[in-house]
Structure 1
Amino acid sequence: MPIPPSPPAVARQLLRDGVYGQLRDAIIDGTFEPGEQLRDADLATWLGVSRTPVREALLRLAQTGLVVARPGRSTTVSAISATAVREARDVVAAMHELAVRDAVPRLTADDVARMRAANERFEQAVEAGDVEAALRADDELHDVPVEVSGNRALATVLDQFVPVLRRAERLRFASASARESVARHQELIRLCADGDAEAASSVVFTTFRALAAVDDD
């Protein structure tokens, strides 16, 4: 068949998602600091893309609360708001509670082994003071029940609110209190392996609710 005159829509979607992910991660890891102005032209040059996907990404970031957009004026990285963190924390905790409750009856031995291996990586990262590796391992552990639950709506809500919470998680995982998460993970995994959905969902809810608070607004 002849080559279509324009690229498939999926290519553009992947570009948009890639730009969004890079900007989101740069805000979360502190590359762009709270209060810093973000200019779409500068960001487009940095990422090697046109300004259109950058503008679309900034709109999505504004919806998550990571940036503050003032149409026709400026877009800046938002401050770490105690209120926003608490609200996001409560939503994320509730979503993971639901995911675990739904997933536990369907978890296989391989699923539990993946969670256990992720927690081992998490513990090693915490001991090494590697916050980025700890965050990745924490995501890998909690992603297992979310994946097994198969609830796409739940996953969509997490995609929206986890970035707001991530900056608070970085503060926690950089502190001595990160070791408490290792023990909570171990208890969660034990309960999942035992098939105790109610107790496991309670533990994961408590785990996310225990995230360190930031200063009040």
Structure 2
Amino acid sequence: MSRAALLVLADGRFPAGGHAHSGGVEAAVANGGVHDSASLAAFCRGRLHTTGLTAAGLAAAAATGYDPLALDEAADARTPVPALREVARRLGRQMLRAARATWPSPHLDHLARALPRGAHQPVVLGVAARAAGLASFDAAQAAAYESISGPATAAVRLLSLDPFDATALLARLSDALDAVARTATDAATRVTDEGTGVLPAASSPLLDITGEQHAAWTVRLFAS
């Protein structure tokens, strides 16, 4: 198992399209919910334990080799808002392109053929992690990290925050991130016997509502 592969997969410069998305923080800035480093920290912590946990579970299960089509259906069930489903599939398409070029794999090829419109991004991330020789815990960590690094980076641009503060925020969440990844991985080890219902399904209704509203904005800096 290559630890360097995890660095590549989790790198914000991996060409998977994440830089164009704010993870809901653009809408949160607009409504005043996020306005400084402290409120951004609260936003990221909440996102980590809801959206991040759910994504980490899906990614960890995909990395075990569990049926990605069943996991994609499970991701749909955990994403009730049409706008956010479209975002997840758009990001999945881009990540699949990058992953197939980086770690050629029949599993990635199968996913591309089966879901030409794109699979949910966490599912693709897990299949990519498997293709890169990574473990399910690695996939869970990468998914959990993506759930907070995107909003933190976007907030630097939206609020002109000190990037050092945003990076320190991510570092302070590292223990919580590892705990979320462990919970997700534990669930993923049971999915073969118990089905996708055992995977985390934590929700964030406010992110769902603002995600649908954000998609209707005529002027915005980020795609989501």
TM over 0.5: no
Q: TM-score, normalised by structure 1?
A: 0.29
Higher relative contact order, chain-length normalized (CA < 8 Å, sep 6+) = 2
Q: TM-score, normalised by structure 2?
A: 0.28
The structure that has the greater radius of gyration is: 1
